[in-house]
Chains A and B, each alone.
Chain A
Amino acid sequence: MIQLAIKDLKLFLKDRRSMLVTFAIPIALITLFAFAFGGAGKSSSKAKISLLVSDLDNTSASQGAIARLDTLKSIQLKALPLAEAQKAIENGDESSVLVVHQGFADSLKKGGSLPLELQYDESKEIEVGMLQQSLIPTIAMLPFNMGNSREMMGNRLAKMAGSSNTQAKEDIQAKSDNLFDAISKGVASGNGNKTKNNPASNFFGSDIKMTKLVKATNDNQLGLVQAVAGTAVMMLLFSVVGIGMGLLDEKQEGTLKRLLYTPMNPLNILFGKMISANVISILQLVIMFIYASLVFGLDIASHLPGLLLTIIATAFACSAFGVLLASFAKSRQQVQGLSTLIILVMSALGGSMIPLFLMPALMQKVAVISVNYWSIQGFYDVFWRNLPVLNATFLSRILVLLLIGLALNSWAVVMFRKNILKLT
């Protein structure tokens, strides 16, 4: 019995595929998810959420407020003119812009409602929610942290009370001073950034107007697009690997050698495989989106040109990946092990498993190396951002997918000559 166990362990240790599935893949995924959910790294190295800011007030008060926001550890501020900022959001490059409207300084002084607006992409609601959580306490504390805060608060309270009587105003100012002192103590004791415990933020509430710059056409669209696009691309990668492995099957079963006996150019064998992989990939994606349309009501009819373009580009890139893996590997087992690892990592990284906006900024940057990223962003452009087919951002994503496909196919040709055509 022990001998049998030892034998099995020896076999296991010699089986690279088992080692890969047992150790390498889980370790890779744990690492990725740990980064994705922010569990990895020290707090000082936590990734910041990017926030654009457009200062239309352009006063020392507005600049001071922006400088105050810039001290937040969780936010990376970037100043841009409003039109540029809005374009970046519409293209899906950024999630939101904080607009400091004209009259900000005046409102701050008079204790009026601050003319701040957060324009955002609804598809990145979770990221925007996190931004809000960071912004609101700081904005609420602006009257305390900027000059004339005691006066500002008094003005604000008086305004809220709606009194024009001088005596009443003075009473309010006196009460305001007491309140100000109490709140100031709270701020000083370190509760300043915690909305829940901070009397100031409870008192002032949010002064940010929320505006959806990029909106869903229906309520389920975002989750649906994420689910369909994310799953479709990941499953497509798995299925194209299967198609690519047909090459290795042909080699193993002798049909590849028989094909070489014919007058056909040997490279046509690979090109034939590429064509069939593309056709099957397109078919698979089309059927998945038709299913999502019929069962979940995804509106494909009004997005048809963009959808088809994205499907074709995605199929091209993914099928090239499958063919390359098969050309690269020397056995079916090798392809299976390698492909599982690569696909799971690419899918986790590229947004198939976790929506990209939930990931830290660093991982969002790294995600661009994944085919999944470009495909999913393409589908987002089509369904979510409603970008026209000729939009430069959308076309750039399509171009990237096509270039990935081209590069992988070219590499597959080289590897096919080197590995697959070695027959004897």
Chain B
Amino acid sequence: MIEIKNLKKTYEGREALKGISFTIKEGEFYGLLGPNGAGKTTTISIISSILKADSGDVIIGRYNIDTHPQNVKQLIGVVPQEIALYNELSAYENLMFWGGLYQVPANELSNRANELLKQFGLEDRKNDKVKNYSGGMKRRINIASALLHKPKVLFMDEPTVGIDPQSRNLIFEVVEKLHKEGLTIVYTTHYMEEAERLCDRIGIIDNGQIIAEGTLDQLKNSSSIKETIAITFSNLNALHVKEIATFWSDMSQDENIIHFHSSDIKSDLSKLVLKCNQLGVDIVNIEIQKTNLETIFLNLTGKQLRD
């Protein structure tokens, strides 16, 4: 559905994109993960046809974005990072306005607006001015505004920033439903749990490059990082730490907690507990820290996603 080849973009001497390439299949939910300034928004801006790339190709559906930008714009819906709505208009008026720009016939548009208002749980307040909505409600209308013309591809640029859990869950439910109905979705976020929950495939972008790509399992398997057993002790002293380090070199200490890095948690856990008993250190708590996107990302980029 989407084919991006060697996309490059430079701003005032700084390379924002250094030759990005990826493909997204029809109906796929693709997550684009990266810290601020990694190139996510630049990528979305180029593939949604509001920014020209210096070089490279973007093909959406059957259309090349350089030669058929209007066709591409009809195919896509974009949920911007900002809440881009007219605050003095009601939710219904906003939807009618945004849908009208896609030449959706008035009757059909009105039905579609009402349908989306119901879907996003805002039917009762459809005539309230948007300025009186909560942040979460605005986010929902922000998403609904991109769906009025029934796009084939939906770009969502960090659509859940700063919203309450209730709205977030509602958005997830709607987005998952749209995905099930066959909509292709490109989702940028720096919330790991969102990507883990929603995305079929994930591309990790940093410094204008895709540095890893695949399903969550593929990313985990390809990663060299290990899972961690974090044991909290009550009577840990320097001698204990020295003894433990001799027994288990791949470890790090954080006050009375020791993080043991393991490639086989099941067998390593019993060995560690046994050794601690032998040394006479009292275990207060054991926590298994599994490999997740956060740790994969940290390992790949050396940065936290929220940096």
Contacts and interface: CB of A to CB of B under 8 A. Distances in A.
Nearest to A262: B101
B50 A255 contact: no
Contact of A258 (B11, B76, B84): B84
B78 A258 contact: yes
B20 to A, nearest CB: 15
Contacts of A423: 45, 50-51
B101 A253 contact: no
B134 interface: no
B42 A262 contact: no
Interface in B35-87: 41-42, 45, 48-51, 70, 73-74, 76, 78, 80-86
A257 B98 CA distance: 12
A260 interface: yes
A263 interface: yes
A164 interface: no
B86 A262 contact: no
Nearest to A263: B73
A119 B82 CA distance: 67
A424 B82 CA distance: 13
- The secondary-structure label for the interface of chain B is loop
Contacts of B86: 255
Contacts of A188: none
Nearest to A252: B82
Given A261-B50, A263-B102, A254 B41 contact: no
Contacts, number: 48
B80 A424 contact: no
A259 interface: yes
Contacts of A254: 80-84
B84 to A, nearest CB: 4
A6 interface: no
A2 interface: no
Contacts of A258: 78, 80, 84, 98, 145
Contacts of A264: 101
A424 B83 CA distance: 17
A258 B102 CA distance: 12
A301 to B, nearest CB: 36
A260 B98 CA distance: 11
A418 B100 CA distance: 27
Interface of B: 11, 41-42, 45, 48-51, 70, 73-74, 76, 78, 80-86, 98, 101-103, 145
Q: List the 10 closest A-B pairs by CB distance, nearest first.
A: A254-B82, A254-B84, A258-B84, A262-B101, A263-B73, A261-B78, A260-B50, A255-B84, A263-B70, A424-B45
23 contacts: A254-B80, A254-B83, A255-B84, A255-B86, A257-B50, A257-B84, A258-B78, A258-B80, A258-B84, A258-B98, A259-B101, A261-B50, A261-B73, A261-B80, A262-B73, A262-B102, A263-B74, A263-B102, A263-B103, A264-B101, A423-B51, A424-B50, A424-B51
Given A254-B84, A263-B101, A423-B50, 20 more contacts: A253-B82, A253-B84, A254-B80, A254-B81, A255-B85, A257-B84, A258-B80, A258-B98, A259-B101, A260-B50, A261-B49, A261-B73, A261-B80, A262-B101, A263-B70, A263-B103, A423-B51, A424-B41, A424-B45, A424-B51
